[in-house]
Amino acid sequence: MLMAHAGRVTASSTVRTPQGERSRAMRHRLMEATVESLVELGWSGTTTTVVSQRAGVSRGAQLHHFPSKLDLVVAAVEFLSERRRDDLTADLAEQPEQGRTRAVLDVLADHFTSPVFFAALELWVAARTDDELRAAVGPLERRIGRETHAHALQLLGVDESRGRNRQLVQATLDMLRGLGLAASLSDDRARRDSILDAWALSLDHDLEK
């Protein structure tokens, strides 16, 4: 469906050349392969060689788009975070008004247990002991953090200037990050669901609408 749509755009567009399309598709394959590699092999197992092989892209083309592993991993986490957020927004349009807080927690928890979260976690932890990586990941993490915060406020339908709303939404995101870290070692969905049930009641009581 998406491919068919992309095909139509290409056919009808005089601005976007087939060359540009191919280049863009190649970048996307490289970014997807990078996140897959981070998820499956971790930070130290992810190399530019592994990524170009997985993406089916020549080493030359890969180096042209992303000269280093650092360029590749930062671009990949950024790109897939953005695409993931677009998905979240689409998901939310379908959430009911009743039980909305609990539904929003589920949507956000899906994000914090997604492949792109585990890929970001690899960068995050590696950056703690790698100055060059930290210089690149720090600003990216702060930006994604701000955007996720704004997004959560919107999903919950609350104004952050009221009461303790800002802190409670931050606490919720930190809790979801902690739950995501726990999910990285074992499937603890039942525990997570039970915690989110309890927390939704607290949020409904404490958030000022």
Residues that bind a second copy (CB under 8 A): 40-45, 118, 121-122, 124-130, 134, 137-138, 141, 164, 167-168, 170-171, 173-179, 181-182, 184-186, 191, 194-195, 197-199, 201-202, 205-206
| Whether the Cβ atoms of residue 156 and residue 207 lie closer than 8 Å to each other | yes
CB of 158 to a second copy, least distance (A): 13
| Whether the Cβ atoms of residue 120 and residue 77 lie closer than 8 Å to each other | yes
Q: Which is nearer to a second copy, 57 or 109 (by Cβ)? A: 109
How far apart, in whole angstroms, are the C-alpha atoms of residue 203 and residue 119?
A: 29
Q: Which is nearer to a second copy, 86 or 131 (by Cβ)? A: 131
CB of 60 to a second copy, least distance (A): 28
Which positions ≥6 away from 100 have C-beta within 8 Å? 156, 157
How far apart, in whole angstroms, are the C-alpha atoms of residue 60 and residue 38?
A: 21
Q: Which is nearer to a second copy, 154 or 202 (by Cβ)? A: 202
Q: Which is nearer to a second copy, 56 or 178 (by Cβ)? A: 178
Which positions ≥6 away from 152 have C-beta within 8 Å? 104, 108, 169, 172, 173
CB of 199 to a second copy, least distance (A): 5
Q: Which is nearer to a second copy, 154 or 184 (by Cβ)? A: 184
CB of 168 to a second copy, least distance (A): 6
| Whether the Cβ atoms of residue 208 and residue 199 lie closer than 8 Å to each other | no
CB of 190 to a second copy, least distance (A): 12
